[in-house]
Structure 1
Amino acid sequence: MFLVDDILFFPAKSLVWVFRELHNAVQQEKTNESDALTTELSELYMMLETGKITEEEFDEREEQILDRLDEIQERDQ
């Protein structure tokens, strides 16, 4: 009887597994994007302190990065 149950429920279990894997992949991608933006922001601060970019360039790029981080946080909620 258990073998028949396994055979009958295999398609449903497979779909659940696929959707679970897709969800995990999306969550991992969000985490990676946040980490990359945080690293980029740190590098931007270093470039400003060392004089490689101007204050105006810094402000523009910082605003873009912070906006993207805000978008990610809003999507998570």
Structure 2
Amino acid sequence: MGEVVQVLERKFGLFPARFKFNRNGSVITIDAVERCWTNMQNQQGRVSHQFRVRSGSNRYRLNEDTASGRWTAWPES
């Protein structure tokens, strides 16, 4: 689900502000966080934070797995 990315900058210590795709190295600057929420993924209490963000006319979904610190992203229509 999504491609592994590196979050380069955060706003207020929480919201992603810039991220980089590991595959091609392109850096995306986020203009707005449109929505954020927390998912409890299983009975062991694994938590992830989801962000719907906009950069220009493009929208992305970012997922932060809080246990591993791994971020993934994918384009949204």
Give the alignment's TM-score, normalised by structure 2. Answer: 0.18
**Which of the pair is proportionally richer in strand?**
2
More helix by share: 1
Between structure 1 and structure 2, the one with the greater Rg is 1
